[in-house]
Amino acid sequence: MPLPARFRSESKADMSLLPIFVKLRDRLVVVVGGGAVAEAKIQGLFPAEARIRVVAPVVTARIHEWMTEKRVEWRAEAFRPGHFDGAYLVIAATSAPGVNEAVFREAEERGILCNAVDDIEHCHFFYGAVVQRGDLQIAISTNGKSPALAQRLRLELEKQFGPEYEVWLEWLGAARELLRAGDGSADSKKVLLHHLASGRLFEKFVEEADRQGGRERRDG
């Protein structure tokens, strides 16, 4: 059913985003800023195993701790273009809009993707609200229009996709490797893999895990 006219947007300016998951292992990500926002962005980069360079005259105690642990490289100075040498991504996480804009302009001139936190006009990409269960990641984007809605949907999805999905995905991955190494046509393997990933099989997997857990508790 079409939306009433009062709910239809007439704007054609927004462009569609390409949803991707980026491999950052051993790639340099430059974070400009040393406050709480920068700290949160840095922490989010650790699981991706990126190399991290922090550019800020002053940093939080936690960022300083990461520096002493050699988890990040700290350039204790104001931003300048040379800080982007070798960078793959840039994150502008300062409280100064002028600095964030300068970071974005420099990144754009160099062809480096940049995210300026809470600054839609100076972003090449946005962070999604993410539900993570091991290797399962569900990312939600509103094209920067409503982070609050993205967060609400994340909370709802976290209830729908519980911690058991992490274990199930590990099992599915192992089953896929066994099938790939075995005999049979590609089409038959594809059909079986879709069967294994079905909701019905998931329910059986959880039931068996619950039974196994109950036996272990009784035996213990």
Higher pLDDT, 141 or 70: 70
Confidence of residue 2 (pLDDT cuts 50, 70, 90): low
Query: Which position has the higher pLDDT, 84 or 212?
Result: 84
Q: Is residue 40 predicted with pLDDT exceeding 60?
A: yes
Task: Assign 216 a pLDDT band (cuts: 50, 70, 90).
Answer: low
Mean of the pLDDT values across residues 27-47?
A: 95
Name the average pLDDT for the chain: 88
At 213, is the pLDDT very low, low, confident or very high (cuts 50, 70, 90)?
low
User: Is 140 a residue whose pLDDT tops 70?
Assistant: yes
Q: Is residue 47 pLDDT above 60, yes or no?
A: yes
- Residue in the structure block whose two tokens are 């300048």: 80
Q: What is the pLDDT of residue 215?
A: 60
Give me the sheet containing 73-75, strands edge to edge: 73-75, 51-55, 28-32, 87-92, 113-116
* Tens-digit pLDDT profile for residues 11-29: 445 668 888 889 999 999 9
- pLDDT interval class at 145 (50, 70, 90): confident
Average confidence (pLDDT) over 132-153: 89
